[in-house]
Structure formats: C-alpha cells, structure tokens
Amino acid sequence: MESGPASPGQAGSDELEQVHWLQRVIAGLGVFFAFVIGIAILKSAREALPFLVVPFLPTVWPLFARQQRTFRHRCLVVGTTLCVLGVLLACVGMFFVIPSNVMLLLAVAADPRRKSVLARIRTAVAVGVAGLITAGACVMFGNVLAGPAGYSVEFAGDANAVTGGDGLSGATSVSSGPSGTPGRTRLTITYSTSLFGDERRELREYLESLPDAGPVEDCGRGPCR
C-alpha cells in the first residue's frame, strides 16, 4: 500500500534535519581560513608542512555531513577540541588553528529556519562574527599574495659589517651592492607584511643609524632601486 504525500508539518521537519546552506558556507569559510593561514606559514617556513596537515584536516570533516545532527556534532567536536588545543599550546604556535575552528562553532548556531527568538539571535551573531573574521582573513590573504615590502638605503662602509647585525632580525632577505658613489654601499632589505608597526619602525631606525646613512627609501611592495 503506497503512502500518501507528506504533510506540510512532516516536510518542514524533514527540511530542518538537513544542513542549511548558510551553515555550510560558514563552515566552508573555516576551511578557507585554514588554507590561507597555512599558505602564510608555508611562505616563511616550508618545513612546517607536516605540522599544518594534522590540525587543519579535521576542519573539512563537518562539510561531508548531510544531516543536521551529524553536522552539529562534528562542528562541536572538532571546533571545541582544536580551539582548546590552540589556547593551551599557543606558546608553541598552535594559536593559528583558532580562527578556522571558531567558524565551525559559529556554524552550529547559524540556522535561520529555527523559529525561536533566541535561535534567530544566535544566527545573527554567528553571521556577524563570521563576517568580521572573513574580512580579516581576506586582508591577510591579500598581504600573502602581495608579497613582502622593503627598504633601501645608501651608507658609508662595508655591507659585511651590517648584514649580520641584530638590527636586521626582522628582515626576510638582505642584499647589498655598490651605490655608484665611491666608498658607499646600497643596502636593500625586504620584510614580511605581517611585521608589526613597532617592528617596522625599529627596522627603519636601524637603517637610519648606519654610518653616514642617506634617506631610507620605502619601496612598499614594489622593487627597490
């Protein structure tokens, strides 16, 4: 005997059991953040690849869930576990796993089909926080693609006495060559765009303190002369 068509109430209940597209988008952004952060780390430390795979792979797991219950469970387990580990192991650099797993926790609440006021408030908060994290990740991704910035300065003396100095500890690369003026050297350094403002200022001040230093040229993200 064939069953009749599902009632509106049953159809609505079945729909609520499926993962909402907004939840998938927020969880997917978490995977995107893991990718962005991984690329940023690999650009400065390629040997870190094995350490990136282990904490980032679990962020993909919730995306394969089709049922709401399974999706929420996976997001909570992976998000909570890795966020706690990120805080406890921040001293060894594990803090980088936190943003992508915060997104998984936000995805749990981001179901606009729930009719209670509290559920809608949770959805709005989840979407808002996800938007802020997404904006930050996009800025970071732009910096990664743009590459390093640099300074260039002309000074009196031998570059060998300078290139090994502690004042250049924030530089990612250092090169030197004749400036075209007898007895003077052109020093060019690049630094990561993730370098903090105070660190950039200290780097510039060090270049300005070199013997008989000329004006420090800020090359931005273009090639230094």
> What is the CATH number for 186?
3.30.70.260
Q: Is residue 225 part of a domain?
A: no
pLDDT value of residue 49: 65
Residues 57 and 154 in one domain: no
Please give the single-letter amino acid code of residue 55.
Answer: P
The span from the CA of 110 to the CA of 122, in Å, is 7
Q: Is residue 187 part of a domain?
A: yes
Q: Distance of CA 84 to CAs 97, 102, 112, 220, Å?
A: 10, 11, 28, 38
The span from the CA of 136 to the CA of 36, in Å, is 11
DSSP 67: B
Residues 197 and 104 in one domain: no
pLDDT value of residue 81: 93
Provide the domain limits for residue 19: 8-146
Residues 109 and 163 in one domain: no
The span from the CA of 115 to the CA of 93, in Å, is 41
Residues 117 and 174 in one domain: no
Q: Is residue 142 part of a domain?
A: yes
DSSP 164: T
Q: Is residue 179 part of a domain?
A: yes
Residues 6+ apart with CB under 8 A from 63: 24, 27, 28, 31
Whether 6 and 14 have beta carbons less than 8 Å apart is answered as yes
In the chain, the DSSP E strands lie at: 149-156, 171-178, 184-191, 217-220
Residues 6+ apart with CB under 8 A from 12: none
Residues of the chain with pLDDT under 70: 1-16, 40-52, 92-93, 115, 137, 140-148, 158-167, 169-170, 192-197, 220-225
In 12-160, the DSSP E strands lie at: 149-156
How many folded domains does the chain comprise?
A: 2
Residues 46 and 131 in one domain: yes
Q: Is residue 101 part of a domain?
A: yes
Residues 140 and 155 in one domain: no
Q: Is residue 3 part of a domain?
A: no
Q: How far out from the chain centre does Cα 24 lie? A: 20
Among 146, 168, 196, the domain boundary falls at 146
Among 146, 167, 189, the domain boundary falls at 146
Among 112, 146, 180, the domain boundary falls at 146
Residues 35 and 107 in one domain: yes
